[in-house]
Structure formats: C-alpha cells, structure tokens
Amino acid sequence: MEQQPPISDYGFLSDSRSGALVSKDGSIDWWCPHRFDGSSVFARLLDPKAGHFQLAPIGVGGPGYRVERAYQPDTLVLRTVHHTPHGSVAVTDALAAEQGARAHELGKNSPAVLIRVVEGLSGRVRMALDFAPRPEYGLLTPYLHEQPDGGVLAGAGPIVLMLRAGGLRLRAGTDRVTHEFEVSAGQVIGMDVAFGEAYGAPPARVDPLAALAETTRAWQAFRETHTYSGRYRDLVTHSSTVLTGLTYARSGAVAAALTSSLPEQIGGDRNYDYRYSWLRDFSLTMRALWVAACPDETSRLFAWVTRSIGRIGAEPVPVLFGLEGERDVSEHHCDHLRGYHDSKPVRVGNDAWRQRQLDVPGEVMAAVWRLRDYLGATFEDELREMVLGLAEQVAATWRLPDRGIWETRDDERHYVWSKVSCWLALDRAVGLADRLGDRADPRRWAAIRDEIREVVLREGWNDRIGAFTGAFGSPELDASVLALPVARFLPATDPRMRSTIAVLERDLGTDEGLLRRWSTDPAAFPLCSFWLVECLVMTGEMQRAEALFERVVGYANDVGLFSEQIDLSTGVQLGNTPQALSHIGLINAAWRITKPDSF
C-alpha cells in the first residue's frame, strides 16, 4: 500500500482564501480551493486514493537524488530544487494572488489558481506529471475532457478544474492525466490548475509566469507594510506570514490550521477538523499580530468576532465559528477515507462548537483590553453590547464546570485556567467600565472577580504536589496553568508559580524543553513550550528562556513550519499543519524575550 509522507515533509501554499500542501516529492496532496474549510479536490494526505497532483523528476527519491527547498523571501511562494544524476530542476509553487493585489488587498479576490513553474537548472531532466483530482474528499472521480489549447478540463459534481501545462499537449486518461516531458537547462514551463464552479463563473485563465511574479510581489508588498524590530526577526516575520496565510481575507478570520484529521498520535482517534476559527485563539492571535505590527489584520479580525458572536443571551458563547461566522459546524465522519497512516476517524466539522468552555469570554475580553486605545474612548454599539454581554455571562456562569481549554470530550470539570479566564474577563470589564455606558456594573464585577481569585488560589493549588493542577481537586498536572502569569493573574515570581513551573518542567517536560499538555498526552505541544519560555523570562531566567526558545524552534520543518504537536521520542511533527497556535506561541515568546515587561 502506498506510503504517506511525514507531516513535516509538507510545505504550505496560501492565497488567503484557501491553502494547499506540497510534499518534498512534488505532490500537492491537499487543496480545498473554494475556501479553507471547503471540500477538497486533492486529499491524498488522508487517503492515497483521494486525489493529488504530482510534478517531479522521474525516479524521485532514488539513488543520487536529493531535494532542497525554501520560500521566496517574505512570501508563501515555495521553490523546490530537485537534484538528480542527470541534472537539476526547480519547481516553484504558489496559489495565485489577484492581479494587482498589494498590501491588505491580498487574498480578498483570489482567482483560486494553483501555479506550478518548472525551470531547468542544469543537464536534462525527465519529468513526470500525474494529475488525479478527486473532489468531495475523494467521493467523486471527474470526467476529463481534452481542450483545443492542449489543456484538460476535469468536472464532477459542483466543481471544475482546468489544467494547462504551457506548450505541452496533455492527454486525458480514464481517471487521470499523466505526461512525461524533458526539461533542459534554461528552459521554463509554466503550468496552472484553475478552480471553477460547475454552475458559476468558469475557471480563471492566467499566464503562470506572470501570475507567479505578481503573486511574489503581492506577498512582498504585504510584508513591507509590517515591521518588527525585536529579537529573532526572521522567525517572527515568517511566523506572521504563516498566520497571514491562514487568514481568510474576506472576513479576517484566522483558521486554527489548514488541515483536518491529522492525528495527535499515529493510529489514534484524536483527529479533529481545525479549519475553523476559535475564539480562544483570538486573543493570542491579536497579541501576535500586534507584536508583528499588523494593525489592519487585528482590526479586521476584531470586526469578525463582534459580528460572529452577535447578541449574547443565556447560551454559552460558541467556542468556534466557520470562517464567515457560521455557528453550526456539526461534525461527521468520512468513513470512506482510511486516514493519515490509518488514523481514523476522518472528521469534517467540529462538534466542539456545542461545548461550554468558560475561558472563551476571557480570551475575547483580553483582546478588547489590548486594543482599548485603538477602539476609542466610547465603544460603538455592537462592541459595547458584546463586552457587557460577556461580562454578565461570566458573572452568572463562572461557578459551572466546563470542558476546558483542551476541549475534552469526557466529563465537565472545574478547570483552573477556565476559572482564571473568568477572573480575566471581569478584571478587564472593570477596567473598561468607563467606555460601556450606564449599564456597566464595575463594583459588582469587581466583587465577583475577587471571589473567583480566592476560589482559584484555594481550590486550584495542590499542596501535596506543590503546583496548580489542571482542575479543582485533581492531582493531574496541566500545562495551561503556565498562562496564569501571562494573564497577570499571579506573578511568575510568586513562590507558588515558581514551584508550579518547576513541577511542570520535571513531570511534563523533556530534556530538550518539549512540554506535554498533561501526563498522558502522547506528544509535546509547542505552544506550551513557548508559554514556558515566557514564564522563564518573567522569573528573570533570561538565559534559560533563550536557550529553550532556540531548542524548540529547531523542531520546525525545513521551511519553518510547525504542526500541532511533536513526537517525544522521534521529534517528528504530528497533528494538523501548519498550526496557528504554534506560530502564535513563537511570536509571543520572541517578543517576551525582547521586552520582558510587555503585554
């Protein structure tokens, strides 16, 4: 049976509408062209039969073959150089930007075109093209129609794809297009795959070489409008580019990851769809974008949140939304897909939207607090109603159990971080009261805030273990409590936090500084390691913090991408990729090292 590449083998392409993954051996194994959380046309990532578009030298991976790749500076345009015994060839891949797009226009009207440009560098290299689209997560096999210009039109269900390959005349097979051709030094061949709707506008037609140049300029112009002057500039700039690539430009929402159902543990069942936007990630994302000097992105993201939440009633604020603010993203299983390395089920949708997670209002309020000066001395109606509604909901519900930051699918508990987030929500509401009008009740909010603090300090601390644990009355450690100093609930220098940090390092960490979320977590979670970096800075251990940061960033793949988790024994990446939280953690930790008293 066909072997699937390691998760870290994939590079990320984006047009800020959709994203694609391309492997080291030149195969596009994931693309949902309509939008990030839309249906796929290539999904070999989750099943060898679910569609791909491979373009690589014949004999890829054989004797004398090696590959090197890198993004063009300040872009998500990926250049892969294949070195073979017969010569070298470069393939440059991108998702096309709209003609003339610059700066903050990037992605708003993307044409949904995948560009692949082949360039001969030396010798003569025999190349092979294998185009096998399988729409609807592999449920559909399209009809293939040869076109007068040498291209092939693929159509099935609601979509069409047009493949063109420069001057090459392609022949349609029964269910795929295969073609071999030779590339000599100096020869350039541009290819593109354009997406269209069966009953809508036809696929866009572009000149691949011109579109590639235009896309490169668009990304670079975008990055020129964002300046970061702190430590680890290249890492921060690249991670902010990845976050931009995960941003759905039409609304400003940031997808938690590009993919669905990549496993936290090979063969396991914790395989979730992360192509939506989590309110929990919102505050962290805002913080990271602010650090990376992206104020326009923060304002767009903020507008998306207020619109998506809508009027707040008795029901819990939803945990996540679709990228245009859809609330119901109910989950179903794709039983026809075998999953990445047989890790099932494969899920589309995420039922975490139904959960009660009490930390969510606090995350949103923290973002409002961070942008309070930017938002004005008097809040507009929708923002004011959201802040008042969040404060009142927290005041009414903080004593309830919930599912916690890690979205457990077992019993609800009284999670420490959830309670601290309730404290955070009311603390920030008190500070914002003068902008909220006559219905603000800062005295009552402050009283409840102080009660929450007393309860957390009493019930969250485990004297026998010498640490704050994950939930009241539980001996189970949880790395989420490292966020307590970040939220300014308790100084990192407090003896209880110092002890907690030491216990978490000892019991959840590795010698390399990787940190699990809890003791039975099968892999490390990069965000937790970056939280630890911040805590070490705040305790004055700058040298240790820098060393830890530099070890953790070393686990990124060869093009600087982080997935959701890292295998403790092998160091390979696991889970959905690229993962926004991992890159957010990197940005915020770098800024903490730069300015220890920031935030």
Closest C-alpha to 580, from 301, 162, 203, 219? 301
Of 298-312, 462-476, 494-508, minimum mean pLDDT range:
298-312
HEC per residue, 445-509 = HHHHHHHHHHHHHHHCEECCCCEECCECCCCCCCHHHHHHHHCCCCCCCCHHHHHHHHHHHHHHE
Pairing of strands 347-348, 78-84: unpaired
pLDDT in tens, 183-195: 999 999 999 999 9
Total residues belonging to the chain = 599
* pLDDT score at 222: 82
HEC per residue, 239-260 = HHHHHHHCEECCCCEECCECCE
Average pLDDT over residues 513-539: 96
pLDDT in tens, 553-574: 999 999 999 999 999 989 999 9
| DSSP structural state of residue 142 | -
* pLDDT score at 20: 98
pLDDT in tens, 221-230: 888 877 788 9
Reading the block at residue 310, the tokens are: 């809508």
Q: How confident is the model at residue 381 (pLDDT cuts 50, 70, 90)?
A: confident
pLDDT in tens, 305-320: 888 998 898 888 889 9
* pLDDT score at 579: 97
Q: Is the pLDDT of residue 293 over 60?
A: no
* pLDDT score at 502: 98
pLDDT in tens, 481-504: 999 999 999 999 999 999 999 999
Q: Write the Ramachandran bin of 488: left for phi over 0, alpha for psi from -120 to 50, otherwise beta.
A: left
Q: Is the pLDDT of residue 295 over 80?
A: no
pLDDT in tens, 56-110: 999 888 899 999 999 999 999 999 999 999 999 999 999 999 987 765 567 678 8
Reading the block at residue 566, the tokens are: 């890292």
* pLDDT score at 387: 94
Domains of the chain (ranges, CATH numbers): 7-224 (2.70.98.10), 233-594 (1.50.10.10)
CA angle 109, 10, 191 (to 5 degrees): 50
Distance CA 497, CA 525 (A): 20
* pLDDT score at 103: 57
* pLDDT score at 294: 59
CB count in 10 Å sphere of residue 417: 28
Q: How confident is the model at residue 201 (pLDDT cuts 50, 70, 90)?
A: confident
Under 8 Å between Cβ of 301 and 289 = yes
Average pLDDT over residues 453-477: 98
Under 8 Å between Cβ of 123 and 26 = no
